[in-house]
Amino acid sequence: MDTQTTNEQMEKTRLLILKAQGGDISAKELLVEQNLGLVWSLVKRFTNRGYDLDDLFQVGSIGLLKSIEKFDLKYPVAFSTYAVPMIVGEIKRFLRDDGLIKVSRSLKDLASKARNVKEDFQRQENREPTLKEISDILNVPCEEIAVSLEANMEVESLNAVVNPNSSATITLAEKIDQSPDEQKNIFENIYLKEIIKTLSSVERQIVNYRYFEDLTQLEIANRLGVSQVQISRIEKRVLEKLRQSIGNN
């Protein structure tokens, strides 16, 4: 599919969203119909969780409807790009609230090792280690450590009260639904990823080293075999590109 066709389809989708958000039921129904395949493809990721896929499809469809209602047309983001984390998030919250997300023994063991390394590192260095430092100590990829720690986080019920000392109590589910800042963050994170894709391979590599692996400019320079001055100039150029792109939004 060429770029022009893709852009035309995106504009048609955005027009339907505008109508749906304005109360046009037929526009909303058409959007749902067009994205049912997306919901099913995401639901299939959650097989063998103790629930019928049809039930999870209904939950995923709720996420799709929320995506239509909360999609912010100010951002030049494809609707499907935004809808995917919304749909998956809705299904995960449903499973977690029912206590059906099971964590494998290997992930539990890795999470335990990572926490022990973190505690030892904090005692010795008087600071928290980065994910990269934990990865180096355990000789395990950063991605696997991140997954294990996230999977073993204590899960709260969506019915849990988040402000028990207040006269006007609010549940976790209500707080999630009532947080426009969270919705904005989803858009900004997606948009930032889209901007980073426009950078050159060297620029992306420096962004990764600098902001995701916490390397200094000197450490990056040594890795790439260039001077620290060059790294500093490239980093400034990248930051200016990001500011301009975000500022023009």
Report all structural domains of the chain as residue ranges with CATH numbers, in order of start: 3-101 (1.20.120.1810), 105-151 (1.10.10.10)
State if pTM tops 0.75: no
pLDDT at 19 over 90: yes
Average pLDDT along the chain: 76
Q: Are the C-beta atoms of 170 and 162 separated by less than 8 Å?
A: yes
- What would the DSSP string read from start to end of 123-167? HHHSSPPPHHHHHHHHT--HHHHHHHHHHTSPPPPTT-BS-TTSS
| Residue with the larger pLDDT of the pair 49 and 246 | 49
Q: What is the pLDDT of residues 163-172, one digit of tens each?
A: 444 444 444 4
Mean of pLDDT values over 213-229? 84
Mean of pLDDT values over 61-68? 90
Q: Would you state the structure tokens that stand for residue 245, as one six-digit string? A: 């792109």
pLDDT at 131 over 70: yes
Contacts of 167 (CB under 8 A, 6+ apart): none
Min mean pLDDT across 140-149, 175-184, 192-201 is at: 175-184
- Tell me the backbone φ, ψ of residue 140, rounded to 5 degrees: -130, 140
